[in-house]
Amino acid sequence: MDKRPVSASGGHCDALDQALGEFRARAPHTVDRWGELLAAVLTGGGRLLAAGNGGSAAQAQHLTAELVGRYRDDRPPFSAIALHADTSSTTAIANDYGIDEVFARQVRAHGRSDDILMLLSTSGASANLLAAAEAARESGLHVWALTGPAPNPLAAAADEVLAVDAASNATVQELHLVAVHMVCEAFDAALERGWGTKGRRRTEEAARAAAAPPATARGAGGGPHALQAGLIRRAPDDLPRGGRRHE
């Protein structure tokens, strides 16, 4: 019998493996729905806003990069903004209004009704993310959260949450990255199932309108967001009353 001590790195992998089992059992249902709703919103002219602090900021920016660029196969770009990535805005807001407002003020500036705000936090207690969630709800955005163990304040403030049940912040962040990739995969799959042609057409129409004379551009118009068109619901049927899930 091998009695060699478990290394520190081996213990890290064990913790990840343990958390991954529960994550695999619950995450696909949530991320598949998120991918579908995200496809409806973005192909309808909406936008994804994302934010986090520290390592979670990197995960949020990873998500927006996959949407503006691409995840796997070539497809049109979609509007997605990592709020923390604008250093001039974040430092100016922090200096003038306080650190708790760095994301909330940008949500009010960039967010429109039926857009989506994705917030990532290992603790689920970051004051600036809670303020952003409140600003988003006031502005009519959908609020999604990736957090550590629930219950936590951000999980309660979001419309939907995918909570990773792990003791280590590192493990939580690692599974948040898995969730980000799963959302991107579900998003691309939703485009292929029916949003792809529509998304390409709207992207091409937007490009033609931008290149056309002002009168033509003004007459081009724009499609309603997905919620207004009846394509998505504020609270899916499988959510408890109030639209919040603690996972």
Boundaries of every domain in the chain: 15-220
Q: Which pLDDT score is estimated for 37? A: 96
How far is it, in rounded angstroms, from Cα 136 to Cα 143?
7
- Give the Cα-Cα-Cα angle 25, 28, 31 (nearest 5 degrees): 140
Tokens of 232: 């998505």
pLDDT score recorded for residue 232: 36
Confidence of residue 200 (pLDDT cuts 50, 70, 90): low
In order of 17, 145, 169, the CA distances from 85 in angstroms are 31, 18, 22
pLDDT tier for residue 196 given thresholds of 50, 70 and 90: very low
* Element spanning 147, H or E: strand 142-147
Average pLDDT, the chain: 82
Residue 186 corresponds to which tokens in the numbers above?
A: 């579900």
Please report which helix (H) or strand (E) contains residue 211, including its range: helix 196-211
Residue-wise pLDDT tens digits, 117-137? 999 999 999 999 999 999 999
User: Can you tell me which residue has the tokens 């520290």?
Assistant: 54
% of the chain residues with pLDDT over 90: 66
Confidence of residue 8 (pLDDT cuts 50, 70, 90): low
Does residue 197 carry a pLDDT above 60? no
* 72 vs 29: CA distance, rounded Å: 21
pLDDT of 20: 82
pLDDT, position 16: 86
Whether 11 has a pLDDT exceeding 50, the answer reads yes
Question: Residue 119: what pLDDT?
Answer: 98
Based on DSSP, count helices (H) and strands (E) in the chain, helices before strands: 9, 5
Structure-model confidence comparison of residues 230 and 29, the more confident one: 29
What was the pLDDT predicted at 18? 83
- Would you state the pLDDT for residue 19? 81
- Whether pLDDT at 240 is above 50: no
Q: Which CATH superfamily is domain 15-220 in?
A: Glucose-6-phosphate isomerase like protein; domain 1 (3.40.50.10490)
pTM of the model: 0.75
Nearest 5°: phi and psi at 242? 100, -10
What integer is the mean pLDDT of 150-177? 95
Q: In what order do the strands lie in the sheet with 160-163?
A: 80-82, 48-52, 116-121, 142-147, 160-163
Provide the pLDDT for residue 237.
Answer: 39
Q: In the predicted model, is pLDDT for residue 35 greater than 80?
A: yes
pLDDT band at 204 (very low <50, low <70, confident <90, very high): low
Task: Count CA atoms closer than 13 A to 236's CA, side-chain side.
Answer: 15
